[in-house]
């Protein structure tokens, strides 16, 4: 079962606004051209110039020693966790975080790593006191606490820098390393109005998706200290993720980082506009490029079908539904959504 897959049959109207997720973004002509023109080599030999450039440039941009290109955010987090922790060691994370909920317990299955998931605060962060309480004493009864992982953005929420720092400090004081699941790292930076290195500097390692809002078709980058990234490269190979002429994909990621970071502000502003419309029709929680909408009377298939008639695709949901703005929702698409919701609730 796939929680995001479309349930409605292909509607008669062409879809011009897909609000299910920012994962639906497609590479545009410029990106496809960059992919076609990419300089490539065998990346397992370390000879793919485009991959090497992507890894080095993103690491440098974020003030880290090294980077590693991976197939997905899940693979990047997994390889990161395996590089920090050994069997019998433990990761402290959040109950609602992707690493705990949506990564098939990969770190436990493949690494023999325990996870201790804490309650996530309403701002998307973890409480320093809860982190301190979760760290296990050095006692043969316990797993060995080794790593803290945070997530930013979390459900679209840009967790403030001070909150990230307080959590990271609590972990570091107890001897833990700190990893960020920064699938939407640049959405967080944009919303916080901080510098990229302000946020990156809090963490040892960061996993960043080049797909989603940045619009690359495939790929994530893990950045961090050289020794951790060297171990990550071995894990990636072991997991079957060492690829050859990957520069075709890295070229798309490079372009995404050059051209699609600044425009993330547009997605947040469009989410605000859509949220203003929807607030007349139910409860709206808006955070960066996402909206969580609980219409009076709940989500219905009638609403999904009505919106499809306006060219707008929504996720299957009950109660509350999530809408995500991204680069393939233009002003025209946004207007179709606003017109569709206005007419549905009229």
**In the complex, which residues of this chain contact ligand PLP (CB under 6 A)?**
72-74, 77, 98, 151, 181, 183, 209, 211, 220
Minimal distance, residue 184 CB to ligand PLP, in Å:
6
Minimal distance, residue 44 CB to ligand PLP, in Å:
21
d(CA 46, CA 144): 35
Minimal distance, residue 183 CB to ligand PLP, in Å:
3
d(CA 196, CA 199): 6
Minimal distance, residue 72 CB to ligand PLP, in Å:
4
Q: Which residue, 185 or 293, is less far from ligand PLP as judged by CB?
A: 185
User: Minimal CB distance to ligand PLP: which residue?
Assistant: 73
DSSP-H helix ranges across the chain: 29-36, 49-61, 73-84, 98-101, 106-111, 128-134, 161-173, 185-192, 196-200, 226-238, 247-259, 264-278, 301-309, 331-345
* Pairing between β-strand 66-70 and β-strand 220-224 as defined by DSSP bridges: antiparallel
Q: Which residue, 158 or 308, is less far from ligand PLP as judged by CB?
A: 158
Q: Which residue, 222 or 274, is less far from ligand PLP as judged by CB?
A: 222
Minimal distance, residue 77 CB to ligand PLP, in Å:
6
Q: ∠ CA(19), CA(22), CA(24), 5° rounding? A: 85
Minimal distance, residue 121 CB to ligand PLP, in Å:
16
Tokens for 257? Answer: 């980082």
Nearest-10 crossing angle of helices 331-345, 264-278: 10
Minimal distance, residue 10 CB to ligand PLP, in Å:
24
Q: Which residue, 50 or 211, is less far from ligand PLP as judged by CB?
A: 211
User: What's the length of the chain?
Assistant: 346
Minimal distance, residue 153 CB to ligand PLP, in Å:
7
d(CA 143, CA 135): 9
Minimal distance, residue 344 CB to ligand PLP, in Å:
28
* Pairing between β-strand 282-287 and β-strand 312-313 as defined by DSSP bridges: unpaired
Q: Which residue, 146 or 212, is less far from ligand PLP as judged by CB?
A: 212
- Rg of the chain on CA atoms, in Å: 21
Q: Which residue, 69 or 341, is less far from ligand PLP as judged by CB?
A: 69
Q: Which residue, 93 or 220, is less far from ligand PLP as judged by CB?
A: 220
Q: Which residue, 207 or 277, is less far from ligand PLP as judged by CB?
A: 207
Q: Which residue, 48 or 151, is less far from ligand PLP as judged by CB?
A: 151
Are the C-beta atoms of residues 186 and 264 closer than 8 Å to each other?
yes
Among the listed residues 248, 199, 260, 242, the one whose alpha carbon sits nearest the alpha carbon of residue 62: 199
DSSP-H helix ranges across 135-284: 161-173, 185-192, 196-200, 226-238, 247-259, 264-278
d(CA 332, CA 44): 44
């Amino acid at each position: 079962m796939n929680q995001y897959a479309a349930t409605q049959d292909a509607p008669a109207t062409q879809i011009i606004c897909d609000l299910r997720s920012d994962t639906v973004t497609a590479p545009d002509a410029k990106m496809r051209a960059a992919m076609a023109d990419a300089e490539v080599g065998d990346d397992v030999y370390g000879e793919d110039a485009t991959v090497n450039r992507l890894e080095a440039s993103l690491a440098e941009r974020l003030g880290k020693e090294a980077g590693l290109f991976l197939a997905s955010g899940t693979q990047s987090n997994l390889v990161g966790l395996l590089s920090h922790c050994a069997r019998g060691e433990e990761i402290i994370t959040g109950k609602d975080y992707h690493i705990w909920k949506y990564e098939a317990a990969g770190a436990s299955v493949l690494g023999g790593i325990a996870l201790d998931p804490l309650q996530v605060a309403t701002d998307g962060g973890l409480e320093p006191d809860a982190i301190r309480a979760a760290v296990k004493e050095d006692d043969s009864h316990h797993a060995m606490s080794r790593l803290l992982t945070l997530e930013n953005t979390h459900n679209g929420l840009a967790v403030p820098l001070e909150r990230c720092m307080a959590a990271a400090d609590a972990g570091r004081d107890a001897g833990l390393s700190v990893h960020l699941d920064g699938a939407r790292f640049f959405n967080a930076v944009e919303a916080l109005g901080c510098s990229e290195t302000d946020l990156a500097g809090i963490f040892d390692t960061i996993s960043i998706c080049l797909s989603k809002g940045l619009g690359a078709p495939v790929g994530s980058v893990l950045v961090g200290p050289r020794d951790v990234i060297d171990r990550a490269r071995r894990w990636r190979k072991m997991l079957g993720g060492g690829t050859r002429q990957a520069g075709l994909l890295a070229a798309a990621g490079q372009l995404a980082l050059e051209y699609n970071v600044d425009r993330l502000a547009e997605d947040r502003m469009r989410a605000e506009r859509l949220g203003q419309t929807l607030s007349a029709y139910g409860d709206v929680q808006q955070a960066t490029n996402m909206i969580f909408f609980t219409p009076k009377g709940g989500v219905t298939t009638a609403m999904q079908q009505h919106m499809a008639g306006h060219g707008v695709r929504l996720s299957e949901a009950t109660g509350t539904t999530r809408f995500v703005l991204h680069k393939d929702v233009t002003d025209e698409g946004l207007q179709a959504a606003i017109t569709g919701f206005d007419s549905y609730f009229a």
